[in-house]
Chains A and B, each alone.
Chain A
Amino acid sequence: GQNIDQPTEMTATEGAIVQINCTYQTSGFNGLFWYQQHAGEAPTFLSYNVLDGLEEKGRFSSFLSRSKGYSYLLLKELQMKDSASYLCAVMAGNYQLIWGAGTKLIIKP
């Protein structure tokens, strides 16, 4: 079967760094995506990894290891507005997106 695993909830302090992990098992792989979703709102695209390594975009970075079926999203200099759910999604071999349940990130002052 196809499966995406990520922690249900994480807590971090404003100004700190947090790493949200995602592991996956899918039939084929055509890329991994991270989305941010604030409560009651629609998800918005954050990052895309298809090759191994780190992709940096401002305060957010995303890492991929295809051999390990593993990715993480790294958020630096946390701000209160970063409180949201972070969704990991993998595009499988048939180009369908498989979604994780999301990690709810709580930022404390």
Chain B
Amino acid sequence: SQTIHQWPATLVQPVGSPLSLECTVEGTSNPNLYWYRQAAGRGLQLLFYSVGIGQISSEVPQNLSASRPQDRQFILSSKKLLLSDSGFYLCAWSSGERHTGELFFGEGSRLTVL
């Protein structure tokens, strides 16, 4: 069966510090991978998605970046965090074989920037 895992679960970082959130998927190959951010009382905001190794599409211009060094690994990074980067970050995957809105989410990473 397929599993998705992201870490760390909770992170408290000072403004201006770097960030790295990691996500891995097991049990499937060539998945579509996504990074979302969820602010309180707001819908999920798509940050990045990837249809293959090294293929990253950015949906929102900001100080975040994403990389996909391996087929089932997706990393969200920042060189300098802003206060507005605080939120609940979710990694997700979907089948790469067809367009589907059925996403499978990781456990989430709660980031607080102070």
Contact = CB atoms under 8 A, between A and B. Distances in A.
Interface string B92-112: 000000010111111110100
B105 A33 contact: no
A99 B99 contact: no
B101 A91 contact: yes
B101 A89 contact: yes
Contacts of A31: 101
Contacts, number: 46
B41 A44 contact: no
Interface string A40-53: 11111100100000
Taking chain A's interface residues, is the majority helix, strand, or loop, or is none over half, making it mixed? loop
B99 to A, nearest CB: 4
Interface string A70-109: 0000000000000000010101000111011110000000
B105 A97 contact: no
Contact of A101 (B41, B99, B103, B105): B41
A11 B108 CA distance: 26
B93 to A, nearest CB: 12
A45 B44 contact: no
Given A42-B90, A42-B107, A43-B105, A91 B99 contact: yes
Say what secondary structure dominates the interface of chain B.
Answer: loop
B46 interface: yes
A41 B46 CA distance: 17
Nearest to B104: A45
Contact of A45 (B41, B102, B107): B102
Contacts of B104: 45
Contacts of A87: 43-44
Given A41-B107, A42-B107, A48 B43 contact: no
A78 B46 CA distance: 31
Contact of B43 (A30, A41, A45, A102): A102
A102 B42 CA distance: 7
